[in-house]
Amino acid sequence: MSTLITGADGYLGRRIAAALRGQDLILAVRCADETELDHKRARLAHVADAPVVPVDLRDADPFARVDPRQVTRIIHAAAVIRFDVTRDTADQVNVAGTARVREFAHRCDRLDQLMLLSTLYSAGRRRGEVHETRHDDAGFVNHYEWSKWAAEECLLDPPGLPVTVARLPTLIADDTTGAVAQYNAFHHTMRLYHAGLLTLLPGDPATPLSLATAEFTVDAVTALLAAPPGVYQICPGPVTLGAAIDTAFAVFEHDPGFRRRMLPRPIPCDQASFHDMAQAAQRLRGGPLQPALASVTPFAEQLYLPKHFRTDRLRAAWPGYRAQDATALVAAACTDLIERSFRVTAN
Amino acid sequence: MDGLYIGSFAHALGAQQRHIRESAEAGLLRSAPEDLEAAGFRRHHVCEPGDTAYDLAHAAVAQIAARGDLTDIDAIVYATCLPGGETGTGPVRDVKELMDFPAGRLQAEFGLSRAIVVGLHQQACTGALGALRVAGALLATEPDWRRVLCVTADRFPAGAWYEQAYNLISDGAAACVVGRDPDVCRLLTVHQITNGGLGRAGDDETVGTYFAYTHRLVRQAAARVGLTPADLDWVVTQNTHEKAWEILARLLGLDHARVWAPTLADVGHVISADALVNLSALLGSGRARPGQRIAVPMAGFGLNWQCAVLEVAA
């Protein structure tokens, strides 16, 4: 009985492998050559004592080096997770790659579970309550969202496989200490505000954000390995956009350097205004604004589309579920960002 | 600012009008010309090599004099962001060489013998409005005074980029008179915000903070005279990226059709003179009617933000 983890060297894949240490694991990683494979093997040796195999989901037969007879569980964590990913890349890696995982899964005669790590934002442009069910196409604000929805569909549409879809929140810290090891749109946005490079706030301040730690998310994923197949939304308790910004600025204002600069809190703006500002900023020569905005802008529309993610199935399947204090998490993550002067080193 | 009026507007621009592409080829710009064109800029004005900021100020004030409006001047308030005088190349032994007195030169040149002079040079691109505020304060504390000449003039030195904070710059000057006698507009208030913590802000921080501060500035300026931004009939802006005020109009709840900057393409950003150039254009257009309220917001390095609120009188 072996668990195959794709994207096992990724931010979450590595932590899931660590959580399953002691079980029979096969760690699938993407690498350009044997040298990179050796490097990744060395890194993962600290995580789990398990074979590391090269798997590139863009290949025609990516699992050629994995024996399907051994595999009883697949955790499909490999994906491109950038909001500014192109449609083509998202399609190749997240959609076609998932289709190849599905093909492989069909060859695994003893398969008990195929878990796809998806995103809460596979809900796309819908507003209001979002249930732990299959989504229809409500439109998407970026290709990443679309590709994760399409990946879900790829696994849920044809019946026959024991599929679990785990829709993940936005990870802003490793754990409740607030330690940040990976940047995403949240951290880029905070950096812009802290640097005074952005004073507009895209979104409705009342929009709930689903922010979580990697620790909470990995606990949820491992709990769902024992749960029946189906769709689960991993949401630890929301914080509103406005409260998150107020919390971040309250932390920033403890920083003497920030306080001396007397930077104003951002003002909420409508979607068209933020779009205009981002478009204009693209033509500002080579400053720090463009790369940071590139990760924020493709997601900004979501901040105008309030969603309330239901977690009934998750809580029923995971007796250890405990809501997290998202406001405290924002404060801890922002404190960590300031202590590191917004420099992040992957561990 | 009860009972104060503003009028006698005049301006002068650098004698050479250049297309943005010419200036790009001459190495005067930092951004690609197509990026500045996308912001709405097309041409700008550059001084002839021998011309100075004082020459521009003189030319603007001469227009007021030619109209017969340069009478009873009790003070001259002169704003510039580049106050350095002409200096030689060697070490300075007598620091008088570092001093410059353009307002005093205007006083002497135009025979304004009873006028005292005041200089402002730390308000950057908002200095013209600082001059109006100081003029109002002087008139408030000197009951016998009638009129204050306000001047702003800047000329970039040879070799300097004609671009600041992504705006295309022109050399130029503007002048007007603040006084007690009825004139084209009543001067209702001038409001200022300064954030010295951003005194050395780069172009990106300047742009980044522009929206929140300008939003605050206009709201606070309007509130000083019992208005909301939506009550303003016109907002006469500096010549800056044309998208900036599309965004701000939405944020302030203003109809963008009431935002007025018709000289953006062909005049560019004239430090603190371009908003007065645009104000002259509005008043000359006949579109501003008596009783209408006009906000004139400006943003500048330092960082400074100032906004005047006027009411059309005649």
Cα diameter, chain B: 57
Residue B96 or residue A103, greater confidence: A103
DSSP letter for A233, please.
E
Can you give the C-alpha Rg of chain B in angstroms?
A: 19
Percentage with pLDDT > 70 across chain B: 98
Closest partner residue to A196 among B208, B216, B247, by Cβ?
B208
Tokens of B161: 């980029």
- Is pLDDT above 60 for B87? no
Of B32, B198, B216, Cβ closest to residue A261:
B198
Instruction: Give average pLDDT by consecutive 10-residue segment, chain A, 347 residues.
Output: 95 97 96 94 93 94 94 97 94 97 96 98 97 97 97 92 97 95 90 92 96 97 97 95 98 95 95 92 76 83 97 96 95 95 66
- Residue environment code for A142-156, b if the CB has 16+ CB neighbours within 10 A, otherwise e: bbbbbbbbbbbbbbb
Tokens 């003497």 correspond to A256
**Residue A288: its chain B contacts at CB < 8 A?**
204
Q: Residue B84 — pLDDT band, cuts 50, 70, 90?
A: confident
| Pairwise CA distance, residues A308 & A126, whole Å | 10
Do the domains spanning B5-179 and B185-312 agree at the CATH topology level? yes
Nearest CA in chain B to A269: B251
Residue of B nearest to A262 (CA): B197
> Which residues of chain B lie closer than 8 angstroms to A200, CB-CB?
211-212, 247
Q: For residue range B184-234, what is the model confidence (pLDDT) as tens digits?
A: 999 999 999 999 999 999 998 999 999 999 999 999 999 999 999 999 999
Q: How far is B204 from chain A (nearest CA, A)?
A: 6
Report, at the CATH architecture level, how domain B5-179 is classified. Answer: 3-Layer(aba) Sandwich (3.40)
Given phi > 0 = left and psi -120 to 50 = alpha, else beta, which region is A265?
A: beta
Q: Please report, as a single letter, which amino acid is at residue A334.
A: C
Residue to mutate among B164, B195, B207, with most A CBs inside 10 A, is B207
- Partner-chain contact B209 A200, CB within 8 Å: no
Gap between the terminal Cα atoms of chain B:
18
| Helix, strand, coil distribution of chain B in percent, nearest 5 | 35, 25, 35
Residues of B with CB under 8 A from a CB of A: 30-32, 35, 38-39, 166, 195, 197-198, 201-205, 207-213, 215-216, 241, 243-244, 246-247, 250-251
Is pLDDT above 90 for B85?
no
Question: So what's the architecture of A2-168 in CATH?
Answer: 3-Layer(aba) Sandwich (3.40)
For residue A347, the model assigns a pLDDT of 43
> Which of the residues A190, A253, A269 would you substitute to probe the B interface, choosing the one with the greatest number of B C-beta atoms within 10 Å?
A269
Q: What sign results for the dihedral spanned by CA atoms A51, A54, A60, A64?
A: negative
Please give the distance of CA B218 from its chain centroid, rounded to a whole number: 16
Domain boundaries, given as residue ranges, for chain B: 5-179, 185-312
Strand, helix or coil at A325?
coil
pLDDT at B90: 74
Q: Which residues pair with A4 in a beta bridge?
A: A26, A74
CB spacing of B213 vs A289 below 8 angstroms: no
Cβ separation B208–A197 shorter than 8 A = yes
Interface test with B, best of A261, A276, A296 (most B CBs within 10 A): A261
Domain locations in chain A as residue ranges: 2-168, 172-209+240-306+324-339
Q: Is the pLDDT of residue B162 over 80?
A: yes
The CA distance from B165 to the nearest CA of chain A, in Å, is 9
| Binary contact (B212, A262; C-beta < 8 A) | no
Q: What is the mean pLDDT of residues B134-145?
A: 97
In the stretch 246-305 of chain A, residues with CB closer than 8 A to chain B read: 260-267, 269-270, 272-273, 276-277, 279-281, 283-285, 287-289
Residues of chain B with C-beta less than 8 angstroms from the C-beta of A284: 31, 35, 166, 203-204, 207
The β-bridge relationship of strands B172-179 and B5-13 is antiparallel
- What is the C-alpha separation between B28 and B160, in angstroms, rounded? 7
What distance in Å separates residue B272's CA from the closest CA in chain A? 22
Q: Note the pLDDT of residue B105.
A: 97
| pLDDT 10s digits, B274-295 | 999 999 999 999 999 999 999 9
Q: Is the ipTM of this complex over 0.90?
A: no
- Residue entry with tokens 């350097």: A257
Is the peptide bond between B251 and the residue preceding it cis, with omega within 30 degrees of 0?
A: no
Find the CB nearest A285 among B30, B201, B246. Answer: B30
DSSP-assigned letter for residue A203: S
The arrangement of secondary structure in B185-312, i.e. its CATH architecture, is 3-Layer(aba) Sandwich (3.40)
**Cross-chain Cβ contact A199/B212 below 8 Å:** yes
